[in-house]
Amino acid sequence: APNVTRRRFLTALVTVSGAAVAGTIAIPMVKSLDPTAAAAALATTTIDLGPIEPGMQMVALWQEKPVIVVNRTPEMLATLDEAEQKGILKDPNCNVPQQPPYCKNKYRSRVPEWYVGIKICNHLCCIPHYRPKKASVAPWWLGGFHCPCHGSMYDLSARVIKGSPAPHNMAVPEYDID
């Protein structure tokens, strides 16, 4: 009987010690995921849309992430319907919540002409290139974003194209347009 009591005591001692070590390691790791003070200070970013000509883009930093703003032309907007009609999109209706509710539309924006999105491929967090010209990536390419690292492709609303390694559309942050 004394061996059983001693065994239980040692098991409890090792379990408590292991939990203490795990907690000591886990707490700093979890805290490292919090945004830095500098990133938190950038919670709001104001961008002047005036200099962005139709068809052009601008990238700004927001919470240490690149945010792309694209002034889409009527021709560019027409490619969004074309992509849906061809059935080349993984999530054309934006069912995976990668955007605020007011952007759950084919434009993925508050105003059709203006696309605002986080310019990070959700496959392996690479930075996709803005490729608005048709056939500039592939013969069937309608224009959009192309991640050269692993080949993920998105339309001009950053909706992921079938066959891409990226699992879903690129993220859209909360934003306002004045």
CATH of the domain at 90: 2.102.10.10
Rounded mean pLDDT, 101-128: 95
Q: Do 1 and 74 reside in the same domain of the chain?
A: no
| 13: in domain | yes
Closest CA to 119 of 78, 59, 162, 72: 59
How far apart CA 105 and CA 159 sit, in angstroms, is 11
Q: Do 22 and 102 reside in the same domain of the chain?
A: no
Rounded mean pLDDT, 147-160: 96
| 172: in domain | no
Residue 41 vs residue 109, higher pLDDT: 109
Number of domains present in the structure of the chain? 2
Q: Do 13 and 71 reside in the same domain of the chain?
A: no
Residue 12's pLDDT band, with cuts at 50, 70 and 90, is confident
pTM: 0.75
How far apart CA 138 and CA 118 sit, in angstroms, is 24
Q: Do 83 and 23 reside in the same domain of the chain?
A: no
| 11: in domain | yes
| 83: in domain | yes
Q: Do 95 and 13 reside in the same domain of the chain?
A: no
Q: What is the 3-state secondary structure (H, E, C) of the chain?
A: CHHHHHHHHHHHHHHHHHHHHHHHHHHHHHHCCCCCHHHHHCCCCCCCCCCCCCCCEEEEEECCEEEEEEECCHHHHHHHHHHHHHCCECCCCCCCCCCCHHHCCCCCCCCCCEEEEECCCCCCCCCCEEECCCCCCCCCCCCEEECCCCCCEECCCCCEECCCCCCCCCCCCCCCCC
| 64: in domain | yes
Domain residues for the domain of 94 are 40-154
How far apart CA 138 and CA 170 sit, in angstroms, is 20
